[in-house]
């Protein structure tokens, strides 16, 4: 079977499972709302990173992106759905590539739209302080935010394929993002700069203060996502449906 009809079928699955489009809507809403609140809260802080403030909602929105990637895969492990999918598409690698593409593209598009809305909301909250942002910084932040959210969804998709469970994936990734990076991160030194979320969020900062720059940080997150997808593909090939 050609790739295009497989991709179309996977997109139809995602579109017709009501919770999945709803998760993308949540991604847009929380990213925008939290950026608006952060803008107001930091408008008078002279030390605030203006770009990160305006896009800080992505730190919350990534939870929705992770949930989307995990649920889109875990749905295949309910009621024998994976057997039906692989019965229709025996080439497991082609099916997995289509599934990953069907996850990545809508997450990227919604992520970019969310980043634009968040930036506008954050700038409104910052008021005159937002004039300190250059056009190049804002373009980089919006583009990087969209890519970052898509990569986190793919990281979750790969891990869900490996673990064969959305619940297990969310139980690992969400505490990891919320606890390890934000609670332990400051005390663990520069090693935490290479964690997938902290590395990727460097692209959201006006002046990254860690080991990695904006694009090198995003590249590290891409490596994490690629590793998870490779592990998931290996598991899919080796284990029974």
Q: How many domains does the chain have?
A: 1
Residue 218 CA to chain centroid, in angstroms?
A: 11
Alpha-carbon distance of 159 to 138, in angstroms, equals 31
Residue 82 CB contacts under 8 Å (≥ 6 apart), including other chains: 76, 241
Average pLDDT in the chain: 90
Residue 207 has a CB neighbour count (10 Å cut-off) of 11
How many Å apart are CA 52 and CA 118, to the nearest integer?
A: 11
Give the pair of three-digit tokens for residue 241: 């449906």
Residue 37 confidence (pLDDT): 93
pLDDT of 241 strictly over 60: no
64 pLDDT above the threshold of 60: yes
Q: Give the pLDDT band (50/70/90) at residue 145.
A: very high
Closest CA to 112 of 174, 27, 17: 27
Over the range 27-46, which residues count as b (16 or more CB within 10 Å of their CB) and which as e?
A: bbebbbbbbbebbeebbeee
The pLDDT tens digits for 74-133 are 988 887 778 888 777 788 889 999 999 999 999 999 999 999 999 999 999 998 888 889
Reduce the DSSP state of residue 56 to 3 states and report it: coil
Identify the domain containing residue 115 by its residue range.
3-238
Single pTM value for the model: 0.94
- pLDDT tens digits, 10-47: 899 899 888 999 999 999 999 999 999 998 888 777 77
Instruction: Report the pLDDT averaged over residues 190-203.
Output: 88
pLDDT of residue 186: 59
Question: Between 183 and 144, where is the model more confident?
Answer: 144
Q: What single DSSP character describes residue 79?
A: T
User: Would you report the helix, strand and coil content of the chain in percent, each value rounded to 5?
Assistant: 85, 0, 15
């Amino acid at each position: 079977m050609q790739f295009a009809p497989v991709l179309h079928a996977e997109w139809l699955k995602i579109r017709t499972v009501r919770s999945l489009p709803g998760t993308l809507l949540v991604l847009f809403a929380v990213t925008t709302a939290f950026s608006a609140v952060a803008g107001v809260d930091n408008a008078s802080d002279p030390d605030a990173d203006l770009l990160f403030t305006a896009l800080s909602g992505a730190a919350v929105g990534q939870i929705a992106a992770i949930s989307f990637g995990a649920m889109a895969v875990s749905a295949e492990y309910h009621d024998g759905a994976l057997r039906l999918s692989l019965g229709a598409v025996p080439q497991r690698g082609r099916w997995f590539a289509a599934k990953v593409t069907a996850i990545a593209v809508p997450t990227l598009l919604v992520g970019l739209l969310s980043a634009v809305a968040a930036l506008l909301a954050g700038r409104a909250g910052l008021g005159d302080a937002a004039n300190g942002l250059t056009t190049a910084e804002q373009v980089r932040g919006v583009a990087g935010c969209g890519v970052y959210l898509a990569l986190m969804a793919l990281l979750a998709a790969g891990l869900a394929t490996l673990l064969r469970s959305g619940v297990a994936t969310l139980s690992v990734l969400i505490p990891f993002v919320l606890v390890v990076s934000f609670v332990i991160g400051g005390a663990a030194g520069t090693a935490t700069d290479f964690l997938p979320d902290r590395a990727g969020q460097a692209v959201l900062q006006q002046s990254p203060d860690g080991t990695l720059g904006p694009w090198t940080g995003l590249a590290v997150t891409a490596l994490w996502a690629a590793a998870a997808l490779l592990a998931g593909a290996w598991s899919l090939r080796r284990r029974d449906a």
